[in-house]
Amino acid sequence: MTDIADRYRRLAATLTSRIESVPADRWSSPSPCEGWTTRDVVAHLIDWHGGVAKLGGLSLPEGPPVETDPVAAWKHTRDAMQELLDDPERANTSYEGMFGPTTVAATADKFLGLDLIVHGWDIARGAGLDDTIPPEDVAELLPMVRELGDNLRRPGVCGPEVPVPGDADDQTKLLGLLGRRR
């Protein structure tokens, strides 16, 4: 459990830094997610965090509205999820997932982890910030994204794969698999 909670803490810290760096006039900027602003990406992350808890019959406390304070809304949700993951009893709540029996912690680790990294890139890109993904995160995520394959192409997940040159760096390959252009 400690590994999952620690990994979440690290990934959430990187995302928090990006969210805190969004200039006030860039929250309405388009993100790489079609039809979503930078603020919409944060709202999605907050909703998905609540959705992961709900899979195990749990809930996260309601926080500030993302519409008026996306930074505070994100920090509230981040802290609530961290508290859940730091509690082995709640984190190990099991449920029947799309790929079979699993736990809230495992889903948070795999799917929230992916979203923290990728949507961090989306937020940075939409806000005009440095969008470099830490190389260790790319190295960890790339095999998982390849393994997910066509499951990424389900409605509302990722767009079509974007072809990239064979000699592209791993971040560009990852983004291409996720339907994003660098």
> Among residues 110, 96, 113, 118, which one has the least CA distance to residue 148?
110
Q: Please check whether residues 175 and 101 belong to one and the same domain.
A: no
Q: Please check whether residues 138 and 110 belong to one and the same domain.
A: no
> Is 53 a member of any domain?
yes
Find the domain containing 51 and state its range.
4-115
Helix axes 2-21, 113-127, angle to 10 degrees: 10
The last residue of one of the domains, among 115, 150, 168, is 115
> Is 87 a member of any domain?
yes
Q: Please check whether residues 9 and 61 belong to one and the same domain.
A: yes
Averaged pLDDT, 21-35: 96
Q: Please check whether residues 8 and 73 belong to one and the same domain.
A: yes
State yes or no: pLDDT of 18 exceeds 80.
Answer: yes
Averaged pLDDT, 13-37: 96
> Is 125 a member of any domain?
no
State yes or no: pLDDT of 174 exceeds 80.
Answer: yes
Say how many domains are in the chain.
2
> Is 122 a member of any domain?
no
Q: Mind listing the pLDDT tens digit for each residue in 91-113?
A: 999 999 888 999 999 999 999 99
State yes or no: pLDDT of 160 exceeds 90.
Answer: no
> Among residues 40, 7, 20, which one has the least CA distance to residue 114?
7
